[in-house]
Amino acid sequence: MFKQNTMYEILTGPVLWITFSIFLGGLVVRIAFLYRLSRKKDPVFYNHVNFTWGLKSILHWLVPWGSASMRNQPVFTFVVFVFHLTLLAVPLFLGAHNMLWDEAFGLSLWSMPDVIVDALTVIMLASVVFLFIRRIVRDEVRILTGAWDYTLLCLTVAPFLSGFLAYHQLGPYESFMILHIIFGEILLIIIPFSKLGHMILFFFTRAFIGFEMGGRRGARSW
């Protein structure tokens, strides 16, 4: 018990600060690197920057079935939006997390009732199962999926599954709670250096495609 308490204090103390430093610093470095690379590889592109087209492009891809490709895959689109919404809502608006935010950073967000967070977690886990199976059964997706893609999906679900098991005490609570924190911090650390970085890069990518299609060609990108 003493070792677990010490581990918990370390993970929610100095390790948490290190994790957020790597997470935020990594995102800044990656964005700066990609910006510099784009300036070097395609400097003419910046002559066609049009924020109206960029904003339209982002908004159409943030709205369910707002683009032609999403309307062509309605079920997949629905699951993807559910997955991303629950992926963000659960960690941001969980009461226990907000207590940690307040202790560590002196700020917190509105907290949802635990029963709602619990339901959203189950929905998120179900959506991951759907996405995992889809990668296996759809030929056009399977050939583009490597071992690292499956690993990222498992790492994404691990904090939610371990937190759910700890909350419901379906096993050793202390061990699952430690695993929950470790998986969460690992996930934050790898986000800037993996495909999961699209949580931020999405906005730049969609805006740039809007610049290219709208500002340069006068055509919609959605």
> What is the token pair recorded at 37?
């690379």
**Residue 112 in 3-state DSSP?**
strand
Kindly state whether residue 222 falls inside one of the protein's structural domains.
Answer: no
pLDDT of residue 167 exceeding 70, the answer is yes
Backbone angles phi, psi at 112, to 5 degrees: -85, 155
Kindly state whether residue 15 falls inside one of the protein's structural domains.
Answer: yes
Kindly state whether residue 158 falls inside one of the protein's structural domains.
Answer: yes
Kindly state whether residue 178 falls inside one of the protein's structural domains.
Answer: yes
**Residue 94 in 3-state DSSP?**
strand
Of 79, 109, 78, 107, which is closest to residue 95 (Cα–Cα)?
109
Residue 215 contacts residue 198 (beta carbons within 8 Å): no
By residue range, what is the domain housing residue 44? 2-216
Distance (Å, whole) CA 31 – CA 49: 17
Q: Which of 22-26, 102-106, 131-135, 145-149 has the lowest mean pLDDT?
A: 102-106
Kindly state whether residue 197 falls inside one of the protein's structural domains.
Answer: yes
* 3 pLDDT tier (thresholds 50, 70, 90): low
Residue 135 contacts residue 141 (beta carbons within 8 Å): yes
Kindly state whether residue 71 falls inside one of the protein's structural domains.
Answer: yes
Among left, alpha and beta (phi > 0; psi -120 to 50; other), residue 29 is alpha
pLDDT of residue 2 exceeding 60, the answer is no
> What is the token pair recorded at 28?
């800044």
Kindly state whether residue 113 falls inside one of the protein's structural domains.
Answer: yes
Domain count, the chain: 1
> What is the token pair recorded at 7?
């581990």
CA 58 to chain centre: 17
**What's the CATH code of the domain at 188?**
1.20.950
Q: pTM to 2 decimals?
A: 0.87
Half-sphere exposure of 9 (CA within 13 A, CB side): 6
Kindly state whether residue 221 falls inside one of the protein's structural domains.
Answer: no
Using one digit for the tens of pLDDT, what is the confidence trace for 177-190?
Answer: 999 999 999 999 99
